[in-house]
Amino acid sequence: MSKRYASGISFFLLLVAWPTLTHTSYHHVYPPRVQVEVKAGSLEMTPSSAGSSAVVRSHRIRRGDSLSRILTGWGLSPETIEKFARSCRKVFNLRELRKGRLLRGSFDLATDSLLAFEYSIDDQRLLVVARDGDGFSARVESSLLERRIQRFDAVIDSSLYKAAMEAKVPTHLVLQMMEIYSAVLDFNSDLRPGDSFSMLAEVFFDRGNPVKTGHIIAAKISAGGEVHRAYRFQSSYYDESGNPLRRSLMRKPLARYRRISSRFLRSRRHPVTGRRRPHNGIDISARSGTPIYAAGDGKVEFVGRKGGFGRTIKISHGAVYNTLYAHLRRFASGLRKGKLVRQGDVIGYVGQSGLSTAPHLHYEIIKYGRSVDPLRADLPTSAPLASKDRKPFGELVATLAAQLDRVPLLFAIASPFCDKQ
């Protein structure tokens, strides 16, 4: 079997509970066989159970979807849709469908008429609609999500992102892993074909169907013959020795980018004006609209236009450091001067405002009022583990390392996430 078997997803049972996690039962996480979601909002019909007289149709909400449009696609007549909507008006506003949420309908196999309907409003509430004579009755029920731990594995052929997508790893987890390792690895240059990753992550299920992902609990990346491990402990990530992976400031505050198009230089010819002057930061080439993260915890000092920088943000990170972000397409909603931000918060989006020839982020780190090279500056790490936490952390690592080091199954199992979230 070739090493591409690792692009499949193996599932496992955690036999030992560890101190820092809530008391939750863990299960083998196999994809539900009676419920298959399909890409691009099309429909998949499967028997709801062996020998059943009903079929289940499902749909994960996409941008621009409306319930009327979905039900019409399921074959309901305008009159039936009106009766359905009328039954829901007193309990839920059907215009408030949220992107990424799941809805399901059960249909009579013989008549193709709608028997029952469910929509996951949020993590605590479920809209339930049932056939009632010639019409429908609707109610909102409490919904408690089941938390499971799932393992994902992949071998990298060209890029981590491509390998993760082929393995049906939800995008949220891919970006989370990139953020965790941002101070350790450059995902554009450090990874080679044949490198691999494994992760253990939270997946939340509603009645057997996956509805969202949570945190990565543990991960390892094999890159260039070295293995880099990460373990979540008290909301932060550490290597196996308890050293924090997070630095106080990100060197490149983008999850995805093409390349470093211009480096920190004391003299550079400006591509627009042609004049030579210092380039006090780095230019990170990325697709227009790519989210930009706050490089560290701090307070927004400036939001607006700043000469040739175009749309610019400046953040103060205490008495020593400031960061600057320029040429933005737009700012994040609600961002204003004086707002407190946390590392990883989205503050804006890549663009080419001001004197710019292509979409990119101009990024500066300023220390004691002087610009330093973001790629080479000696940046402080986060606080190390306290002595009292060493023992529980060691117990956690022992449990999770055993799970990460297990050989993946030698066959591919479909991810419960058919949509690339």
Residue-wise pLDDT tens digits, 369-379 = 999 999 888 88
- For residue 151, what are the CA distances in angstroms to 30, 175, 369? 11, 16, 45
The angle at the Cα of 322, spanning 320 to 328, to the nearest 5 degrees, equals 175
Domain with CATH 2.70.70.10 in the chain: 259-372
Asked if pLDDT for residue 37 goes beyond 50, the answer is no
Fold category of 3-18+153-245+390-404 in CATH = Nuclear Transport Factor 2; Chain: A, (3.10.450)
Pick the CATH number of 259-372 from 3.30.70.60, 2.60.120.260, 2.70.70.10, 1.10.1040.10: 2.70.70.10
Measured distance CA(232)–CA(222) in Å, rounded? 18
Exposure on the CB side of residue 250, measured as CA atoms within 13 A:
25
CB 45 within 8 A of CB 57: yes
Dump pLDDT digits (tens) for 283-327. 999 999 999 999 989 999 999 999 999 999 999 998 899 999 999
Four-point Cα dihedral 156, 157, 159, 160, nearest 10: -20
CATH topology of domain 39-142: Nuclear Transport Factor 2; Chain: A, (3.10.450)
Q: Would you say residue 411 has pLDDT above 80?
A: no
User: Confidence band (pLDDT; 50, 70, 90) for 407?
Assistant: low
Q: What confidence score (pLDDT) does residue 328 get?
A: 96
Query: Among all chains, which residue has been given the structure tokens 């509805």?
Result: 211
- CATH 3.10.450.350 in the chain: give the residue spans: 3-18+153-245+390-404, 39-142
What's the rounded mean pLDDT across residues 5-21? Answer: 34
Burial of residue 78, with CB atoms counted within 10 A of its CB: 0-12 exposed, 13-18 middle, 19 or more buried: exposed
* Residue 73 amino acid letter: G
